[in-house]
Amino acid sequence: MDLLNTLVEKGLRRELPTRDEALAVLATSDDDLLDVVAAAGKVRRQWFGRRVKLNYLVNLKSGLCPEDCSYCSQRLGSKAEILKYTWLKPEEASEAAAAGVAGGAKRVCLVASGRGPTDRDVDRVSKTIEAIKEQNEGVEVCACLGLLSDGQAERLRDAGADAYNHNLNTSEGTYGDITTTHTYADRVDTVTKAHAAGLSACSGLIAGMGESDEDLVDVVFALRELDPDSVPVNFLIPFEGTPLAKEWHLTPQRCLRILAMTRFVCPDVEVRLAGGREVHLRSMQPLALHLANSIFLGDYLTSEGQAGKADLEMIADAGFEVEGSDTTTLPEHRATGGGCGSVCGDGGGGCSDGATAEQAEPAAEVPAARTDLVAVRRRGAGTDIAPNA
């Protein structure tokens, strides 16, 4: 397929595809799916080999968020029966993080519900970062605390944080349909603040919220322009008790196309297979490792994930290897601060080079909702039960 050959060549040169090319990936047929995975896999291996980076989530403060993000089980008015607790003490968070590190995690992601941290919250998280780093030599720490005020990113950096996560989640055009208590511009501003403070920026998306192909391409192109080092690709977990509880539109094939499109647009970036992979990819998860070079180990913030042991077995069985702490994740040109360089292109607004989607077959019927695969987290941080790692 000429389209895939073009995309591989561009990916190996770190060159931005056109919007038409990105849309064409999402429009490919199931008959072409393995070709799409194989092509994107060439780009993934060029920049990341067969390494898989493991990340581990610690939910520092769960539930009772004043924001109204429709996808979130911790949102204002959520009736999802999730764990609710206030801030973990630094030693409690450090203990939870140690379980993930023992399971092979290279990065610990500290997350707290809420609009954004107060200065007192930043002090609290700073102590937690210090406790984790003291107990786990060489571990990376990423903070995810919501919208940042001036100076807070610098304080987190000074406390030892390596990265800051704040996802764009969806396109600017549809953002107001998902969240009304803050804006898309607010999210962009926080990613920019983290970047400017010298933190490694981590920002991604959530697919499966009823968005169009154009919305998906818009948000991934916007992420490319922001130039984060990590792009988590989440697939909506439709929690009962949230506005998007009935949004069961994803298939494993659709998820793989979304991951492939993200890899082609962000060829040399850490693409992370994030929340919802077990729910929507199911038995196709190993194929996704040919597209993403990073996953979360074990459980998520408010839902249970695949057993940590099963994650490790999946990686080994698929012929990949867990990335060690002595290995730099990003390619040299990014690790040394070069970003995507002069080959980024013009943001995707230019003309197409003629590659178009092959005629796609009619979409397959979406399977019935698999609500049995959505399990609320009842173990780990905030409980007396051992974590899954």
SS (H, E, C) the chain: CHHHHHHHHHHHCCCCCCHHHHHHHHCCCHHHHHHHHHHHHHHHHHHHCCEEEEEEEEEEEECCCCCCCCCCCCCCCCCCCCCCECCCCHHHHHHHHHHHHHCCCCEEEEEECCCCCCHHHHHHHHHHHHHHHHHCCCCEEEEECCCCCCCHHHHHHHHCCCEEECCCECCCCCHHHHCCCCCHHHHHHHHHHHHHCCCEEECCEEECCCCCHHHHHHHHHHHHHHCCCEEEEEECCCCCCCCCCCCCCCCHHHHHHHHHHHHHHCCCCEEEECCCHHHHCHHHHHHHCCCCCEEECCCCCCECCCCHHHHHHHHHHCCCEECCCCCCCCCHHHHCCCCCHHHCCCCCCCCCCCCCCCCCCCCCCCCCCCHHHCCECCCCCCCCCCCCC
Query: Which residue of the set 19, 124, 142, 263 is catalytic?
Result: 142
Tell me what pLDDT residue 380 has: 84
For residue 202, indicate whether it is catalytic.
yes
For residue 142, indicate whether it is catalytic.
yes
Domain ranges of the chain: 49-250+271-324+361-373
Tell me what pLDDT residue 320 has: 98
For residue 257, indicate whether it is catalytic.
no
For residue 144, indicate whether it is catalytic.
no
Tell me what pLDDT residue 337 has: 61
Query: Which residue of the set 14, 44, 65, 377 is catalytic?
Result: 65
Query: Which residue of the set 272, 277, 334, 377 is catalytic?
Result: 272
Tell me what pLDDT residue 371 has: 73
Class of domain 49-250+271-324+361-373: alpha beta
Query: Which residue of the set 14, 19, 44, 72 is catalytic?
Result: 72
For residue 109, indicate whether it is catalytic.
yes
Query: Which residue of the set 69, 144, 266, 340 is catalytic?
Result: 69
Tell me what pLDDT residue 278 has: 96
Tell me what pLDDT residue 336 has: 74
Query: Which residue of the set 44, 107, 157, 202 is catalytic?
Result: 202
The whole-model pTM stands at: 0.89
Tell me what pLDDT residue 367 has: 62
For residue 69, indicate whether it is catalytic.
yes
For residue 344, indicate whether it is catalytic.
no
Tell me what pLDDT residue 338 has: 46
Q: What are the average pLDDT values for consecutive 10-residue runs of the chain, which has 389 residues?
A: 95 98 98 98 98 97 92 87 91 95 96 96 98 94 98 98 98 96 97 97 97 98 98 95 93 98 98 96 97 95 90 97 95 72 35 35 58 78 81
Tell me what pLDDT residue 267 has: 98
Tell me what pLDDT residue 76 has: 82
